[in-house]
Structure 1
Amino acid sequence: MRKIRDITTIGFALFAMFFGAGNLLLPPYIGLQIGNHVWVTILAFGLTGIFLPFLGILSVTNSGNDFNDLGHRINKNLTAILGAVIMICIGPLIATPRTAATTYEVGVLPFFPESNPIWTSLIFFCIVWLLAIIPSKVVDIVGSVLTPILLVILTVLVLLGLTNPLAPLEETALSGSTSFTLGFVEGYQTLDVLASVIFAGIIISATRAKGYNSVAEKNKIVIAAGVLAAICLFSIYGGLIYLGATSGIENNDISRSALLLHIANSHLGQYGTVAIAISIGLACLTTAIALTTGVGIFFTKLTNGKLSYKLLVTLTCIIAGILSVTGVDNIIQFAYPPLAFVYPIVITLVLYIVIFGRFVKSKLPYALALIASTIIATLNVMKIVDILHADILAWLTYIPFFAYELGWVMPSLVFFVVGVLIDWFKTPTVPNSQA
């Protein structure tokens, strides 16, 4: 019973850490765009929003106790740089300010139309600071108290939407492959793959604090908790995408916040706005606590304690608070290019360590795979911001899956194999001893 209770607490904590502002706003908006291509889009969004984050947790668990242990598989300095970029993205630059902006637009503005986002941000990050300043309590607070309330509210909303859709699924101009690409790329905006390799350290620390110290025990608890979180995420994501597809809204330019409020009010009546406001507040608060904690822990270790945890938590809250007043849509629009760059790199790292980690111990193949992904990701970002010459752009179409934002897959695999072959040829052969 104790083990089941611990798995449940840690699993709910992991769910809450992943399920934040983007996770609540993105699925209905995706559903609105894809019409009757619901299942293929749920699958695509689930890959980047659920499956890959789970593998991110697994990659850290297989390598050690936190993200820094991944450096043993590649290069310590390279891992430090990549980790810093990840933490800046999921911390003060994108994800954390988005939580406060979403809380204001969906949780506060409908009740107080004349309110100022500055005051919401100030109160929000004061609470985040108070709950994040003692990292040992984060998982228990999130998993035992806040998450069950959030999960119940969202489950009720999804069940009502599934049993009483507002409108039938409509045909869409998008093809099935385009809908898949949309779901896959929009999953980047959750930032969960980036967060997973950082959150893993928090979850592993909580697991060890509960007495599971052996590698086998630790892995079993973390994997079981990850499976529980994945099931919860898939159920909520799939339901929200379906609710968006059956929302009856014909204006695809509606804001993400307005769409979510429309769905909640339509299914839950006069209590819809209140319920979704509570959901937003809990989702965003729990995620902001986890993100801020992760930033503090990571940079404290990276600087060998020269930057204190309390200072880093305070700076994160201040910077995120300032950026949050720009609004959700502006933050999401700004986030796409940097995420399109860093996501393929992190996915490559996670996938290759999980798939090949037990068999390929050399650092060279992993480093070469990351170099290939970095090159392709750079070219993709240049395409996104429209600074590529037409001839180069035409050449990129020959890279397999580039049109689907998956151009890094084959080059990284080729570079990885090259690295394995180089190591194989460099390994000296030991002659058989003579009798």
Structure 2
Amino acid sequence: MSSKKILDGLTIGFALFAMFFGAGNLILPPFLGLNAGADWWSSISGFTLTAILAPFLGILAVLFSGDSFTDLGARINKTLAIVLATLIMLSIGPLVAIPRTAATTFEVGVLSIFPDFNPIWSSILFFAIVLALSISPSKVVDIIGKYLTPLLLVLLTVLVVAGILNPLDTSLLDTHSNQEAFFHGFAEGYQTMDVLASVIFASIIITAAIAKGYTTVQEKTKITIIAGLVAMFCLLFIYGGLVYLGATSGYPMGAHIKRTDLLLHISNGLLGTTGTYALALCIALACLTTAIALTCAVGTFFSQLSRGFLSYRIIVVITCLVSGYLAVNGVDEIISYAFPFLAFIYPITLTLVLYMVVFGRIVKRKAPFVAAILASAVIAALELIAHLSNVFSQKATDPTVWINTQQNIQGFLNSIPLYEYNLPWLLPSAVSFIIVFVVGVLFFKKEE
């Protein structure tokens, strides 16, 4: 392998890491470690599947289909692809990811320096900057991204190494154990939203590869895989380290643990006040850069989707207003309301990615893929209804209807194989895919 290809792979790989590493990627792993205790390795394993491996497969799914998510969507159904892309953009945009960056900036960056600062003013200032740089993109974003990512990576590495060499408290490793750590890690991986982002970010990575001279399918595939492995290694190191830091944090267990407070406790305990300030500043800048990039992506997507009926600038303004309003709720509140929505869309996206990577090159018909996606959507919808029924039953004057609905649906879901592993969609989607594929082979000779 030539030195140029290695250098290009490292460059694109670090860029991919920078795009994936946002607010959720930083605050979720320590919380997993705290809950896992002695089983922190199991927690990392589950988290790795949904937060590292699955996003890499998302990149490959787009690569095997073309150069963008549009090409991937064309392999199934254009209407279905537009609906799915819209849900993904709302998830990584104004409903979840963008407000979470602002909330993380406030709780980790601002409060650690100005404890009495108002969250409303923090949100206003944050999105004023996002709006200014998103409407009129400048070199400021490039400069922040160019210098911030290495600095953030270095600081996190220092934090992880310091925690490994001199852990704050190892008592949980001896006395506390959580047998559900793997499944908890697997489910929490949804919160990073990296699978959703991967099918959007893939076009950026592929475009970068083409710009560096890798134009053939074979060349693009090789350089993308190299870049993906680099990004996966960086993510695994940081995630694994942060999970371990959570398990050895000595933070008091309780019913309502704020993820951001746990992170600040760890950074302050290991690096002191100066280290906490530096980390808080880097996190704030990283979240700001991520918010700007996502806001630009949302503006571009919906402007193109409406064929210019909604201008880019109008969409950016609306995105900032909605995100600013939701950001005031705080990180934990955003994670709480986002979970059912993400739990619905994630299996659908995972189904598309998984089946396209495994069967995309051998199965040319669209129908099997559509069948698998619809099967996953049905299961995900039932889980969403069961969750909402449980929520409504706690608030309703007469909760009988909601309780019965939740119990009936939950009883059905419990009977589905792999439900206990958070994979109830896997078998129904596989059966649907196989049945439709076999029917297509037996009764249809021509390609769709």
TM-score range, shorter chain: over 0.9
Once the two structures are superposed, what CA deviation does each residue of 1:16-39 show, in whole Å capped at 9, x if it has no partner? 211111111100011111111111
Answer yes or no: is 1:419 the counterpart of 2:436.
yes
Query: What CA distance in whole angstroms lies between the structure 2 residues aligned with 1:210 and 1:428?
Result: 41
Query: What CA distance in whole angstroms lies between the structure 2 residues aligned with 1:184 and 1:289?
Result: 28
Equivalent pair of 1:13/1:139 in contact (CA under 8 Å): no
Match of 2:417 in 1: 400
Q: Percent identity?
A: 56
Equivalent pair of 1:56/1:197 in contact (CA under 8 Å): yes
Displacement of 1:326: 1.4
Once the two structures are superposed, what CA deviation does each residue of 1:331-355 show, in whole Å capped at 9, x if it has no partner? 1111011011111000000000001
Match of 1:227 in 2: 229
Displacement of 1:133: 4.6
Equivalent pair of 1:13/1:140 in contact (CA under 8 Å): no
1:342 corresponds, among 345, 365, 368, to 345
Q: How many pairs align?
A: 427
Displacement of 1:5: 4.0
Provide TM-score, normalisation by structure 1: 0.92
Match of 1:365 in 2: 368
Equivalent pair of 1:372/1:411 in contact (CA under 8 Å): yes
Match of 1:433 in 2: none
Please tell me the root mean square deviation across aligned C-alpha atoms, in Å.
2.1
Query: What CA distance in whole angstroms lies between the structure 2 residues aligned with 1:308 and 1:216?
Result: 38
Match of 1:38 in 2: 40
Equivalent pair of 2:387/2:406 in contact (CA under 8 Å): no
Once the two structures are superposed, what CA deviation does each residue of 1:20-72 show, in whole Å capped at 9, x if it has no partner? 11111100011111111111110100111110001111111111121111122
Question: Aligned partner of 1:46: which letter?
Answer: T
1:131 to 1:15, Cα distance in 2 relative to 1, 3 A: farther
Match of 2:72 in 1: 70
Equivalent pair of 2:133/2:141 in contact (CA under 8 Å): no
Unmatched runs of 5 consecutive residues or more in structure 1? 430-435
SS of the residue corresponding to residue 360 of structure 1 reads coil
Query: What CA distance in whole angstroms lies between the structure 2 residues aligned with 1:162 and 1:132?
Result: 39
Question: Aligned partner of 1:237: which letter?
Answer: Y
Match of 1:111 in 2: 113
Provide TM-score, normalisation by structure 2: 0.90
1:19 to 1:206, Cα distance in 2 relative to 1, 3 A: same
Question: Aligned partner of 2:24: which letter?
Answer: G
Answer yes or no: is 1:60 the counterpart of 2:77.
no
Report 1:23-422 matches (<5 A). Answer: 23-133=25-135, 141=143, 144-168=146-170, 169-172=173-176, 174-175=178-179, 178-252=180-254, 253-385=256-388, 386=390, 387=402, 388-422=405-439
Equivalent pair of 1:97/1:320 in contact (CA under 8 Å): yes
Question: Aligned partner of 1:80: which letter?
Answer: I
Query: What CA distance in whole angstroms lies between the structure 1 residues aligned with 2:141 and 2:415?
Result: 46
Query: What CA distance in whole angstroms lies between the structure 2 residues aligned with 1:145 and 1:204?
Result: 23
Once the two structures are superposed, what CA deviation does each residue of 1:270-320 show, in whole Å capped at 9, x if it has no partner? 213212202321331232233223212322332233333343333322321
Query: What CA distance in whole angstroms lies between the structure 2 residues aligned with 1:196 and 1:136?
Result: 25
Once the two structures are superposed, what CA deviation does each residue of 1:227-252 show, in whole Å capped at 9, x if it has no partner? 21111111000000000001112323
Query: What CA distance in whole angstroms lies between the structure 2 residues aligned with 1:22 and 1:267?
Result: 21
Unmatched runs of 5 consecutive residues or more in structure 2? 391-401
Displacement of 1:103: 0.3
Question: Aligned partner of 1:77: which letter?
Answer: T
Match of 1:14 in 2: 16
Question: Aligned partner of 1:364: which letter?
Answer: A
1:197 to 1:137, Cα distance in 2 relative to 1, 3 A: farther
1:138 to 1:341, Cα distance in 2 relative to 1, 3 A: farther
